[in-house]
Structure 1
């Protein structure tokens, strides 16, 4: 049983490792679903961490229908991750009709070699998820991160089990979204999955003593990995 933690900074990545996570998905801007982190963040994480690092390759927020320019940026970011020694990347590309962009996904998988590739929750935006599962297997991805096409993994648990059964060890189905120490054991039993993905985040409180109230629109309240929550999830996984 493996636990992947979504870390939105170098500090969060270090916290995840300290708490016992088996792998991190490194990203930025988690409050908008995550985007590709900076070169410096990736490089520093690879210098300091010993657990595997998968980097989110997502050039912007929003949907997963990408222009050629955006695709070119994704390909270059993957090359950079390979050069920095990352263990894998996380991608997801769709067509307008909600089907998997097999050709460009396959191309990115080849660019990533020998790194592993996870297909992220773009899968949950697919119109025909059972066909999408077969399409993603054909591209060479290692795993699919999914909530079972529901708002949370616990709500999608029944369909997650169906996906695990259809995958039949040809690809790993990794439940994610809303997973915590209170529901991880139930999800393990229901889904029969072998990998789980959590953000396990908490709000980062500002230490500013002066705040200009007119500038509150500058951004959402940032978050960081919660050491104690990740430890609790790791302990629950060990007990199952």
Structure 2
């Protein structure tokens, strides 16, 4: 019997949701600014994404991340995140994707419980904050004790294909009680290898960058070249087909 592996696509807009539906993805992780690792999307983006998914499309799970950078948050940032969780669930999201670490770099159990409770029973996923903790397997245990549904992880590496050994260890430790989803740098070549680790799901962005040139700097990180990322249907189809083979 062939094991079924769910697909989740990280998208930034309703067009990405429609592509995810077309390729049969189970879920989307809706975010903004994927080039920064992903930030919380706007309320309007969420509303339109849920409309694009419709009743038969992929579940919409919302990334809740108040800023770029690390995952140790101030009281104000946690308050923003908590309210964003409540707004996402109230708007109709199927779940939220969260992560918070304490000053030592361990999972912040108080902050995570606070955000979990704000989700009011909706699905809660721990994102790749796990990958910057000292011991991802120990962090998994904490996430499982918190009652989270799944973990998105690259196995503690920059890309999931480089973290396959840790992914296997996480799958073994999970014991089917919490889902393990592999993500980061996933493409058609690496997806089948990741599937063989026993993970429950594969997460990928299938994105390409559209650029234009300009002579006026826009923001401190700008080099004068503007650009933005979109979900690419052909890339998404290639990854889906690679996993299915």
Structure 2 portions without partners, runs of 5+: none
Q: Distance in 1 between matches of 2:215 and 2:51?
A: 39
Q: If the length of structure 2 is used for normalisation, what is the TM-score?
A: 0.91
Counterpart in the other structure of 1:11: 15
Q: Which moved more, 1:215-224 or 1:135-144?
A: 215-224
Aligned residues: 234
Q: Which runs of 4+ in 1 moved over 4 A?
A: none
Counterpart in the other structure of 2:108: 101
How far does residue 236 in structure 1 lie from its aligned partner after superposition?
2.2
Q: Over the residues paired in the alignment, what is the CA RMSD in angstroms? A: 1.5
What whole-Å deviation, never above 9, does each CA across 1:16-68 have from its counterpart, x for those lacking one?
Answer: 22232221000001111010000000011111212100000000000100111
Q: After superposition, where does 1:148-163 map in structure 2 within 5 Å?
A: 148-163=155-170
Q: Distance in 2 between matches of 1:221 and 1:182?
A: 26
Counterpart in the other structure of 2:42: 38
Contact 1:5 1:24 in 2 (8 A): yes
Say whether residues 1:237 and 2:243 are aligned partners.
yes
How far does residue 212 in structure 1 lie from its aligned partner after superposition?
3.8
Q: Which moved more, 1:126-135 or 1:53-62?
A: 126-135
Counterpart in the other structure of 1:51: 58
Contact 1:97 1:127 in 2 (8 A): no
Q: Distance in 1 between matches of 2:179 and 2:171?
A: 8
Q: Secondary structure at the match of 2:237?
A: helix
Counterpart in the other structure of 1:80: 87
Contact 1:19 1:228 in 2 (8 A): no
CA distance change for structure 1 residues 19 and 205 in 2, over 3 Å: closer, same or farther?
Answer: farther
Q: Distance in 2 between matches of 1:28 and 1:219?
A: 19
Q: If the length of structure 1 is used for normalisation, what is the TM-score?
A: 0.93
* Counterpart among 126, 135, 142 of residue 135 in structure 1: 142
* Counterpart among 11, 28, 32 of residue 28 in structure 1: 32
Q: Secondary structure at the match of 2:227?
A: coil
